[in-house]
Chains A and B, each alone.
Chain A
Amino acid sequence: MIALGQAALLVLPILAAWSLLAGGLGHLTNSPALARSAGRGLIASAVLALASSAALLLAFLKNDFRLEYVADYSSREQPLIYKLSAFWGGQDGSLLLWAAVLAVFGALVVLTTARRTPPSWHAAIYAVLGGILLFFAVLTAFVANPFTLLPPGAVPPNGRGLNPLLQNPWMLIHPPTLYLGYVGCALPFAFAAAALLRGAADDTWVKLCRAWSLFTFTFLSIGIWLGAYWAYIELGWGGFWAWDPVENASLMPWLTLTAFLHAGVAQEAKGTFRILSITLVTLTFLLSVYGTFLTRSGIIASVHAFGKSSIGTWFLVFLLTVTALCVGLLIWRSRSLRRGSPLESLWSREGGLLLGNLLLLGLTVIVFFMTMYPVFTGAQGGEQQSLKPEQFTAATRPWLLLLLLIMGTGPVLAWREERPLAVLRRLALPLGLGLAAAALFALLGAREIWSLGFFAVSLFVAAAIVCSFVRDLADRRKTTREHPLAAAGRLFLHHRRRYGAQLVHLSMVVMAIGISGLAYKTDLTFETVSQGQKMEVAGYRLTYEGYDVINRPEYDALALRLAVYPPGSREGVLMSPERRVYGRAEQEQPATEVAILPRVLPFSWGQPGRHMEDLYVIPLNIDLATGTATLQVLVHPLVNWLWVGGVLLILGAHLAVWPPRKSTALPRPAGGFALEGR
């Protein structure tokens, strides 16, 4: 089976190269046969990449330590799910996963999207996809091959096992989801590049790649959200977003893709923003590769990095080559791109979308330069200096607030030109509600200005979304006389993309409330306690009762027993944070398993920040000689809103990506939302 996996992996670059060549020639000669052959090259590549992946997975399941990669990332006692997730636990396997996902996406484009795409587009799309796949296939076959065999005498009886931080059920789902999003960035790019190759004379490509763009947005969002949740519950530093370079690297393509989804709406509806849309899609793809470059090159220290390796050079060369080609193509086609419809008025839906796009782009630029700051400081000969998370937060917060504001305002604007007074009339109620809520919180004792700002704007946006829906509902009921619930259900069903987008906007509001909890003072206590000793943090009473020793096949652990009484409660809860030592020989530092006590209710009007908070306990040290434990105890206000927002985001994105029903749709309601053009 190893031989088959290796053989399939070595043939993969040849097929990818064929797709590039046949697609390129097919485009130049306008030959349908060559285009079909290039498409078949992508389908065959998917079959080979899947065969190779299956072979590697089998090697993990069979503990085949003849493979260096399996010996490095798995062990006999490793539970089954971590044997599966070890597949992408290291550089070689994750690159194979990347190539396999790309090949499968390529095949799906051939088998599905191509049917709805004019045949004259096929060759160019397949050539671009073949070119990108060729790069990853060459890397995984010749630079980071997971099928490298150890010399017969050096095969170990057992493997080293997966890094303990990665031995978490989320490892099974977070990286593949993020990869689906990352690799998906290549798909809208392939359509955009094909449009440029074909002359960029029309806006067809935006419509052609819309489903793939939404699909990519969905998975990128889920991947980022899962990563934040995983960091929060597993990494044990007490937060969900540390502005780590690799976190930022996943955020940047998300920002530009979000911008494209909105610019694309205007382009599709009104033929505006041609240059902006195509630039945003190109940037999204380049940033996805840049993110991979950051992780693989080791140029910046990060918890996600694979360590320093020469593979970064390959990515840099690829990145520079693709950038040069794209810039060349954009300049070559600039005349056709400029032929799009001009913006008639800034005070219009298009104006709102443009402003939102500029804010998203501005945010991307800020995050990019702040992330690269260590490289800039290191380039001057000194030691790399990173910026602190608080500096990132301070720099990005105003942009996020403005983005939220535009999220509430933009969708109620009409296309082409809007009367300012009409907009103010439509927004009067949401504005009033937002301001009233902020005033109420301020009167009740909330003093943090940013938190109040986020509360007010979040409530304004939520009210704007609800008001817009109520208006649509009333319009529909005027003509259909349906029961309100039936009318609401049908409105959702008939305009899935529109209301999916609204739900995504609403999820951003909910998440913004969760994030604004950071502006509250987080109660933080470091304390060394002996058995039976009590401590109090933000009204929580904790008693350290002792510890238990746990022996599992994959790790040994000391689990603390903490009796916790939440504020105002007489019923105690047992929390058990752990210090674990895994079986890896080189594992010196014990891993930390935090304990989290969520407190969803009751809602306290006097302390709005206490709602949906978590008590978060990190065991820093356990002294076996004296039995004392050193604990870090934090209270995270509002943090659970972030996870609720994530669930809403996933629901909304799925609703938006779900294809619309064609036959039964009623005329579109008067107000319009972002992802649907009128």
Chain B
Amino acid sequence: MIVIGLMLLLLGAAAVFVAYPLLSAEPSPPPGPPPGLTGISRKGTGDA
């Protein structure tokens, strides 16, 4: 019983640790050119 309790405890702690990057991950950027490129594009067209 003690072993099972400890297992669940360790598993829980490990799950939080390994899942952190998934939970805190920023959403993937939408397809298309990165934001910086639009700035260059505006510069190029004389908008800036």
The residues of A with any CB-CB pair to B shorter than 8 Å are: 3-4, 6-8, 10-11, 14-15, 18, 22, 31-34, 36-37, 40-41, 43-44, 48
Contacts and interface: CB of A to CB of B under 8 A. Distances in A.
A491 to B, nearest CB: 46
B37 interface: no
17 contacts: A4-B6, A6-B6, A7-B9, A8-B6, A10-B7, A11-B7, A14-B11, A15-B14, A22-B18, A33-B25, A37-B21, A40-B21, A43-B17, A44-B14, A44-B17, A44-B18, A48-B14
A18 B18 contact: yes
B21 to A, nearest CB: 4
Contact of B18 (A3, A4, A8, A40): A40
Nearest to B8: A7
A43 B10 CA distance: 14
A497 B4 CA distance: 50
Contact of A11 (B10, B21, B22, B25): B10
A31 B28 CA distance: 9
Contact of B21 (A6, A10, A33, A48): A33
Contacts of B3: 3, 6-7, 10
Given A3-B2, A33-B25, A8 B19 contact: no
Given A14-B11, A44-B14, A3 B6 contact: yes
Contacts of A34: 21-22
Interface of B: 2-4, 6-7, 9-11, 14, 17-22, 25, 28
A178 B21 CA distance: 36
A103 to B, nearest CB: 12
Given A3-B2, A6-B3, A33-B25, A11 B19 contact: no
Contacts of B28: 31
Contact of B10 (A8, A33, A41): A8
A22 B25 CA distance: 14
Given A33-B21, A34-B22, A37-B21, A11 B2 contact: no
A40 B17 contact: yes
Contacts of A18: 18
A36 B21 contact: yes
Contacts, number: 50
A190 B22 CA distance: 24
Given A3-B3, A6-B3, A48 B10 contact: yes
Contact of B19 (A3, A7, A37): A37
Main secondary structure, interface of B, reads helix
B19 to A, nearest CB: 7
A48 B6 CA distance: 12
A43 B28 CA distance: 25
B7 A40 contact: no
A32 B27 CA distance: 11
B3 to A, nearest CB: 5
A41 B7 contact: no
A6 to B, nearest CB: 5
A537 B48 CA distance: 98
Contacts of A15: 14, 18
A383 B7 CA distance: 48
Given A11-B11, A14-B11, A41 B6 contact: no
Q: Which 9 A-B pairs have the closest CB atoms?
A: A7-B6, A33-B25, A36-B21, A7-B7, A3-B2, A40-B18, A44-B14, A37-B21, A33-B21
Given A22-B18, A37-B20, 7 more contacts: A6-B3, A6-B6, A7-B9, A8-B10, A32-B25, A34-B21, A40-B17
Nearest to B26: A33
A93 B3 CA distance: 19
A307 B10 CA distance: 34
A675 B39 CA distance: 47
User: Which of A32, A33, A41 has the most CB atoms of chain B within a 10 A radius of its CB?
Assistant: A33
Nearest to A2: B3
Contacts of B21: 33-34, 36-37, 40
A18 B19 CA distance: 10
A14 B2 CA distance: 19
B10 A37 contact: no
A186 B21 CA distance: 26
Given A3-B2, A6-B3, A33-B25, A11 B18 contact: no
A8 B14 CA distance: 11
Nearest to B21: A36
Contacts of B6: 3-4, 6-8
A18 B11 CA distance: 12
A5 to B, nearest CB: 9
A36 B25 CA distance: 10
Contacts of B11: 11, 14
A11 B11 CA distance: 6
Contacts of B18: 15, 18, 22, 37, 40-41, 44
A72 B9 CA distance: 31
A11 B21 CA distance: 20
A44 B19 CA distance: 12
Contacts of A41: 18
Contact of A40 (B2, B9, B10, B20): B20
Nearest to B13: A44
Contacts of B19: 37
B10 to A, nearest CB: 5
A141 B21 CA distance: 28
B41 to A, nearest CB: 26
A10 to B, nearest CB: 6
B10 A7 contact: yes
A179 B4 CA distance: 31
